[in-house]
């Protein structure tokens, strides 16, 4: 059985709708200090429309055609890895614009994208960035979408950096990045 262009467009639209709903849910979780599972359940019961018979649209607070499974993955992933995502964002954002100072919708978009990028089996970063840039243009104006693009690009590079490890080579500490040692002249301790 082959997939038609209409089927493919519906799948793309449902994935984008899921991400829109995830951003809305993450915003609600932060603003309402509600538990993630409670908000996920509310969205699943009352806001995610998946059938043609659902007479709801975005204007009424509903998200038609959303993929409920992807919605749950994005929200749970962003919440489960929020500390790691926030640490990475803290390192990326200028000191004059700490994460707490950003618009809450912008933060929700960053958390959703970060949740997907840090997942066990993420889709390509360029796809995630494009999806969340499209969503940003629906919620934000001015320079915020452009700033978001730079932040998400930097976030994807940080997440995909090879992990650095420190090994002890006799009396010299060596930093190993991607199996290439970089000498650190400061030894851990002086030889006896």
d(CA 84, CA 65): 31
pLDDT bracket for residue 11 (50, 70, 90): low
d(CA 19, CA 109): 9
Q: Range with the lowest mean pLDDT among 66-70, 78-82, 97-101, 126-130?
A: 66-70
Q: What CATH number should be reported for the domain holding residue 82?
A: 1.10.940.10
Sign of CA dihedral 117, 150, 14, 84: positive
Query: Is residue 169 domain-resident?
Result: no
Query: Is residue 51 domain-resident?
Result: yes
Mean pLDDT over residues 98-118, rounded? 94
Pair 115, 108: CB distance under 8 Å: no
Per-residue pLDDT reduced to its tens digit, 23-45: 999 999 999 888 999 999 998 88
Q: Which residue has the tokens 């992807």?
A: 70
Number of domains observed in the structure of the chain: 1
Domain residues for the domain of 47 are 3-160
- % pLDDT > 90, the chain: 47
Query: Is residue 166 domain-resident?
Result: no
Query: Is residue 30 domain-resident?
Result: yes
Per-residue pLDDT reduced to its tens digit, 80-104: 999 999 999 999 998 888 999 999 9
Q: Residue 65: pLDDT above 60?
A: yes
Mean pLDDT over residues 119-126, rounded? 86
Look at residue 24 in the predicted model and tell me its pLDDT. 93
Query: Is residue 188 domain-resident?
Result: no
Query: Is residue 38 domain-resident?
Result: yes
């Amino acid at each position: 059985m082959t997939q038609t262009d209409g089927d493919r467009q519906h799948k793309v639209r449902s994935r984008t709708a899921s991400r829109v709903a995830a951003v809305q849910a993450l915003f609600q979780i932060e603003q309402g200090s509600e538990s993630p599972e409670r908000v996920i359940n509310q969205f699943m019961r009352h806001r995610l429309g998946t059938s043609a018979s659902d007479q709801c649209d975005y204007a009424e607070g509903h998200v038609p055609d959303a993929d409920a499974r992807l919605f749950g993955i994005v929200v749970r992933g962003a919440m489960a890895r929020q500390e790691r995502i926030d640490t990475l964002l803290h390192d990326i954002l200028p000191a004059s614009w700490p994460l707490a100072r950003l618009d809450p919708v912008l933060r929700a978009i960053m958390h959703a994208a970060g949740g997907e990028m840090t997942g066990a089996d993420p889709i390509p970063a360029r796809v995630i960035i494009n999806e969340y840039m499209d969503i940003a243009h629906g919620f934000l104006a001015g320079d915020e979408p452009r700033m978001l693009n730079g932040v998400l690009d930097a976030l994807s590079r940080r997440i995909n950096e090879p992990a650095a490890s420190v090994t002890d080579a006799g009396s010299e500490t060596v930093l190993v990045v991607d199996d290439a040692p970089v000498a650190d002249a400061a030894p851990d301790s002086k030889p006896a």
